[in-house]
């Protein structure tokens, strides 16, 4: 495939340093991209040369053995197995490159994307899909009140845009960064904001009540913000975890039961979600013009990682090789 544009996640430097799990080095990094198919193997029928596609990096052998090609993170228990080790040996190189060889299972066609005018912007699509998969785990969003924890990050920003596109009544953007929250508030009257105080009770009152809370936080020092989101739920509400929080949650058994709450996890996105999000973009319901991609090439990887680390929310680094 010819790589057209790839989102460089804000925490890529942490990944490169080895702080997010092991990588099968040496490798070409890169978890996802928008690309044009150059050639396919004889047994590939769902895409053809010339198609514009998303590479999702997700390779699933079943029974919890899932890898992300060119990236950290394993599905199932996250511990990996002899089989995921073999999978990573065969499919190790990602898409931060001019051309990439991708497993057919990781490639989803974007029908009609051949003429999309701004591929750097479109490279945010995979992150939108991860956010959408998390939101969909809570059921339909139309007419419901949704909160996004870590809305000042890129996954959280993607969730705010997706929830608005899918008809949420209100979207409460929750985070620490006041400037990033202000930008989200400017998206429209359905967006509320809450700046995290660090006090669970005050944060719960500021976030809710909501029907759906999506936790897209990075590595926090405590579980307080996540538990404030839990506390902010209305009866029958759902908390979905998609972030990078590495903390244990103390869930009160009786409260979860009596309030009929649901706690869900979501990891990556399936092909149907990719198609749904692309159709929202095509239809003009999900407006990518609010994004601010900062474009880099392949010539200075260290500078690109530094720049990505400084991006928040709706700003992101797009690698255009
Ligand atoms: N489930 C999945 O499929 C999936 C896929 C990709 C990534 N992830 C995980 O999602 C996480 C977020 O990704 P991202 O791309 O959005 O990263 P990001 O752009 O770096 O955003 C991190 C977010 O976490 C917040 N945060 C970080 N440390 C915090 C702390 N100590 N207290 C409160 N808030 C804190 C940041 O708030 P500030 O803006 O205030 O700093 C920001 O909102 C990653 O850590 C990754 O592990 C999950």
**DSSP, residue by residue, 50-116:** T-EEEE--EEE-STT-EEETTSS-BSTTSS--HHHHHHHHHS---SSSSB----GGGEEE-TTGGG-
| Cα pseudo-dihedral 138, 270, 226, 234, rounded to 10 | 0
- Our answer on whether the CB atom of 10 is closer than 6 Å to any ligand 1 atom is yes
The rounded distance, in Å, linking the Cα atoms of 140 and 136 is 6
Strands (E), the chain: 2-8, 33-36, 52-55, 58-60, 66-68, 107-109, 145-149, 170-175, 191-195, 210-215, 233-241, 262-265, 292-296, 315-319
- Our answer on whether the CB atom of 313 is closer than 6 Å to any ligand 1 atom is no
The rounded distance, in Å, linking the Cα atoms of 223 and 82 is 32
Which atom of ligand 1 sits closest to the CA of residue 130?
3
- Residue 320 burial (C-beta neighbours within 10 Å; 0-12, 13-18, 19+): middle
| Cα pseudo-dihedral 283, 288, 289, 295, rounded to 10 | -140
- Other beta carbons within 10 Å of 169: 14
Q: What is the pLDDT of residues 132-153, one digit of tens each?
A: 999 999 999 999 999 999 999 9
Using the predicted structure, report yes or no on whether residue 18 has a pLDDT greater than 90: no
The rounded distance, in Å, linking the Cα atoms of 169 and 181 is 18
User: pLDDT band at 251, cuts 50/70/90?
Assistant: very high
The rounded distance, in Å, linking the Cα atoms of 147 and 175 is 11
Per-residue model confidence (pLDDT) at position 11: 94
Strands (E), 256-305: 262-265, 292-296
Which atom of ligand 1 sits closest to the CA of residue 177?
40
Give the distance, in angstroms, between the CA of residue 266 and the centroid of all CA atoms in the same chain: 10
Enter the pTM of the model: 0.97
Class of domain 128-265: alpha beta
Closest of 12, 43, 28 to residue 99, by C-alpha: 28
Q: What is the mean pLDDT of residues 60-83?
A: 93
- Our answer on whether the CB atom of 157 is closer than 6 Å to any ligand 1 atom is no
Per-residue model confidence (pLDDT) at position 21: 84
CA of 71 to the centre of ligand 1 (A): 16
Output 168 or 22, whichever has higher pLDDT.
168
Residue nearest to atom 29 of ligand 1 (CA): 220
| Cα→Cα distances 140→136, 231, 291, Å | 6, 21, 25
The rounded distance, in Å, linking the Cα atoms of 154 and 47 is 29
Per-residue model confidence (pLDDT) at position 19: 83
Closest of 204, 175, 176, 210 to residue 190, by C-alpha: 210
CA of 194 to the centre of ligand 1 (A): 16
| Cα pseudo-dihedral 216, 179, 315, 164, rounded to 10 | 60
Q: What is the pLDDT of residues 223-238, one digit of tens each?
A: 999 999 999 999 999 9
Residue nearest to atom 10 of ligand 1 (CA): 243
Domains in the chain: boundaries: 2-124+291-319, 128-265
- Our answer on whether the CB atom of 73 is closer than 6 Å to any ligand 1 atom is no
Share of the chain above pLDDT 90, in %: 95
Cis peptide before 209 (omega within 30 of 0): yes
Which atom of ligand 1 sits closest to the CA of residue 20?
47
Q: What is the pLDDT of residues 264-309, one digit of tens each?
A: 999 999 999 999 999 999 999 999 999 999 999 999 999 999 999 9
β-strands 2-8, 33-36: how paired? antiparallel
Give the distance, in angstroms, between the CA of residue 206 and the centroid of all CA atoms in the same chain: 25
Q: What is the mean pLDDT of residues 86-100?
A: 96
- Ligand 1: which of 20, 244, 316 to mutate, most ligand atoms within 8 Å of CB? 244
Which atom of ligand 1 sits closest to the CA of residue 196?
33
Which atom of ligand 1 sits closest to the CA of residue 266?
1
- Other beta carbons within 10 Å of 220: 18
Share of the chain above pLDDT 70, in %: 100
Q: What is the pLDDT of residues 8-17, one digit of tens each?
A: 999 999 999 9
CATH topology of domain 2-124+291-319: Quinone Oxidoreductase; Chain A, domain 1 (3.90.180)
CA of 16 to the centre of ligand 1 (A): 16
Which atom of ligand 1 sits closest to the CA of residue 245?
45
- Our answer on whether the CB atom of 311 is closer than 6 Å to any ligand 1 atom is no
- Our answer on whether the CB atom of 153 is closer than 6 Å to any ligand 1 atom is yes
Q: What is the mean pLDDT of residues 49-58?
A: 98
- Our answer on whether the CB atom of 12 is closer than 6 Å to any ligand 1 atom is no
Per-residue model confidence (pLDDT) at position 262: 98
Q: Which helix (DSSP H) or strand (DSSP E) does residue 187 occupy?
A: none
């Amino acid at each position: 495939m010819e790589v057209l544009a790839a989102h460089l996640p804000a925490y890529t430097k942490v990944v490169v340093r080895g702080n997010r799990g092991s990588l099968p080095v040496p490798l070409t990094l890169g978890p996802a991209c928008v690309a044009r198919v150059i050639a396919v193997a004889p047994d590939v029928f769902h895409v053809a040369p010339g198609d514009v596609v998303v590479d999702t990096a997700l390779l699933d052998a079943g029974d919890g053995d899932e890898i992300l090609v060119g990236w950290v993170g394993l599905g199932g228990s996250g511990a990996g197995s002899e089989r995921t080790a073999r999978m990573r040996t065969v499919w190790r190189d990602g898409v931060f490159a001019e051309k990439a060889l991708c497993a057919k299972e990781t490639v989803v066609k974007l029908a009609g994307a051949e003429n999309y005018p701004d591929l750097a912007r479109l490279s945010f699509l995979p992150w939108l899909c991860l956010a959408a998969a998390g939101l969909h785990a809570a059921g339909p969003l139309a007419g419901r009140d949704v909160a996004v924890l870590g809305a000042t990050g890129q996954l959280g920003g993607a969730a705010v845009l997706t929830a608005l596109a899918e008809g949420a009544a209100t979207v409460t953007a929750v985070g620490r960064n006041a400037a990033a929250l202000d930008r989200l508030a400017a998206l429209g009257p359905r967006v509320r904001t809450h700046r995290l105080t660090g006090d669970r009770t005050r944060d719960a009152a500021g976030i809710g009540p909501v029907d759906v809370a999506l936790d897209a936080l990075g590595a926090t020092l405590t579980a307080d913000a996540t538990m404030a989101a839990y506390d902010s739920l209305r009866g029958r509400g759902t908390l979905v975890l998609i972030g990078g929080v590495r903390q244990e949650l103390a869930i009160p058994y009786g409260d979860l039961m009596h309030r009929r709450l649901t706690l869900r996890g979501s990891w990556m996105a399936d092909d149907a979600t990719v198609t749904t999000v692309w159709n929202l973009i095509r239809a003009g319901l999900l407006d990518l013009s609010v994004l601010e991609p900062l474009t880099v090439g392949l010539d200075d990887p260290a500078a690109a990682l530094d720049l990505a680390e400084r991006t928040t929310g709706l700003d992101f680094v797009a690698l255009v090789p």
